[in-house]
Structure 1
Amino acid sequence: MYIPPHFAQTRPDELLRIIRAHPLGMLVTHDSAGFDADHIPFEFDPDQGTHGVLTAHVARANDLWRRCPSGSPVMVVFRGAEAYISPNWYPSKHEAHRQVPTWNYEVVHAHGTLTIRDDERFVRGLVARLTRRHEANEPAPWKMGDAPPEFIDGMLRSIVGIEIAVTSLVGKSKLSQNKEARDRNGAADALASRGHHELAQSMRADA
């Protein structure tokens, strides 16, 4: 990933924020057949290992867990907030007309080593954690105990767990840091007015 110095995101708290706010990661793998990508919701524990551990599950019918054995190097891409930026949103454009369109975004690449976890206890705990997290804001959160035990047991048998020991986190926050403050604020205001509040907030916070 090309990262000019002014767009580099190295703050651990910001990398964690992006991953947790956008947990549907793109798992990129490579084998003798070439590259492949799977889109999977991940849990991230930053306190395990050197750079944290990612956990997720895939369908047993997905041959990823057979194609990529434990020890395989992988990358997970977490794409955060993103939006088109019009030059018309920059005050300076209306003076000198020396601006062009661009795209602002936040992204984290997590590189690591894959471990296949084909055991019921692992996937049960993982699914329980994912459920608690993503149901937390529901008026009546769904829990695994709401379904018949034999149904849950069958569903768990149809998935395989994966674990990724993260070896590095590479972040990029392209937030108009190369623009004048008034142009950056003008773009942030325009984004907010169009409903892109997360990206607008990031642009203002990183000013």
Structure 2
Amino acid sequence: MYLPTHFAVTDPEALHALMRAYPLGALITHGKGGLDADHLPFEFDAGEGEHGVLRAHVARNNPLWQEVTDGQEVLIVFKAADGYVSPNWYPSKQEHHKQVPTWNYAVVHAHGRIRVRDDARFVRRLLASLTRVHEAAEPKPWKMADAPRDYLEAMVAAVVGIEIEISELVGKFKLSQNKEPSDRQGVVDALQERGQGALAESMQRRPS
């Protein structure tokens, strides 16, 4: 990934926050069939390993878990809100017209080594954890015990767990840090007017 210094983010807390807020990661692997990508909701455990551990599950019918080997290097890409930026949003454009279109975004690349966990206890524990996190905001959170036991056991048997020990986290937050404060504010205002509040808020959180 091309990473100019002014867009590089190395603060672990900022990287972890993005991964937790946008847990659907693109898992990129290279198996027998060549390059492939699977989009999976990940659980991130910062307390295990040097850089943390990612856990997810795939359908048993998904060939991924049979094509990768334990210890194989993989890449997971997490992406936050993104959006187009028009030159017209910069106040300075009206003065000298020296602006061009661009795209703002924030991503984290997690490099690591994958391990297949074809283990019902691992899968059940992972599913319970993911459910607790993502049901927490519901008025009446669904829990695994709500489903009939035989149905739930069949669902658990139909998936396979994967675990990735992270070896490196690389963050790129391209949020107009290379622009003058007035131009950054112009972009924030335009994004908010267009209903892209999440991206505007990301820009406001990042220092110039």
Q: In 1, distance between residues paired with 2:142 and 2:85?
A: 39
2:172 maps to 1:172: yes
Which residue is 1:31 aligned to? Answer: 31
Which residue is 1:51 aligned to? Answer: 51
Q: In 1, distance between residues paired with 2:36 and 2:98?
A: 40
Which residue is 2:65 aligned to? Answer: 65
Partner secondary structure for residue 81 of structure 1:
coil
Q: In 1, distance between residues paired with 2:150 and 2:32?
A: 38
Q: CA deviation at 1:203?
A: 1.1
- TM-score, length-scaled by structure 2: 0.98
> Which letter maps to 1:97?
H
2:147 maps to 1:147: yes
Q: In 2, distance between residues paired with 1:31 and 1:155?
A: 26
Partner secondary structure for residue 82 of structure 2:
strand
User: Matched residues, percent identical?
Assistant: 59
Which residue is 1:190 aligned to? Answer: 190
**1:62-141 matched pairs, under 5 angstroms:** 62-141=62-141
Partner secondary structure for residue 91 of structure 1:
coil
Q: CA deviation at 1:71?
A: 1.1
- Post-superposition Cα deviations, 1:125-156, rounded to whole Å, max 9, x if no partner, equal 00001101001001111110111000000000
2:158 maps to 1:158: yes
> Which letter maps to 1:100?
V
Partner secondary structure for residue 160 of structure 2:
strand
Q: In 2, distance between residues paired with 1:76 and 1:44?
A: 12
Q: In 2, distance between residues paired with 1:31 and 1:111?
A: 16
Q: In 1, distance between residues paired with 2:107 and 2:117?
A: 27
Partner secondary structure for residue 38 of structure 2:
strand
> Which letter maps to 2:185?
N
Q: CA deviation at 1:33?
A: 2.5
Q: In 1, distance between residues paired with 2:152 and 2:188?
A: 45
Q: In 1, distance between residues paired with 2:203 and 2:63?
A: 40
Partner secondary structure for residue 199 of structure 2:
helix
Q: CA deviation at 1:112?
A: 0.2
> Which letter maps to 1:8?
A
- Post-superposition Cα deviations, 1:86-111, rounded to whole Å, max 9, x if no partner, equal 11110000111111110000000000
Partner secondary structure for residue 112 of structure 1:
strand
Which residue is 2:12 aligned to? Answer: 12
Q: CA deviation at 1:32?
A: 3.5
Q: In 1, distance between residues paired with 2:33 and 2:159?
A: 23
Q: CA deviation at 1:12?
A: 0.9
Unaligned runs of 5+ in 2: none
- TM-score, length-scaled by structure 1: 0.98
Q: In 2, distance between residues paired with 1:77 and 1:3?
A: 15
Partner secondary structure for residue 128 of structure 1:
helix
Q: In 1, distance between residues paired with 2:73 and 2:205?
A: 34
> Which letter maps to 1:17?
A
Q: CA deviation at 1:198?
A: 1.8
